[in-house]
Homo-oligomer: A and B are copies of this chain.
């Protein structure tokens, strides 16, 4: 039972696609399973990973469970990326300078 890790949760393309779909609104598990060529257990287990990473929230409705997106933990990834955004904008600016220098010749 590994701890909930947002980066690991995003490592799987199916889970990323689940999050994408949940943007448009909550979905039941069987409904999601039909979107992918996957059995229900597989989808259910992907949802468990997303749940442990607090990226989704479940809302029981009768015998179904609707899963809602909770994008807040994504800010951790965003923050991590910011440490590089600054760096790569510097790099891009430097590259641009070089290109301008070349063009001037």
| B-binding residues in A (CB < 8 A) | 5, 7-8, 10-11, 13, 16, 19-20, 23, 69, 71-72, 74-75, 77-78, 80-81, 83-85, 87-88, 91
Out of B78, B87, B88, which one reaches A85, CB within 8 Å?
A: B78
* Chain B residues, Cβ within 8 Å of A81: 74, 77-78, 81
B20 touching A83 by the CB < 8 A rule? yes
Q: Is the interface of A mostly helix, strand, loop or mixed?
A: helix
CA distance A77 to B7 in the complex (A): 11
B77 touching A77 by the CB < 8 A rule? yes
* Chain B residues, Cβ within 8 Å of A87: 23, 69, 71
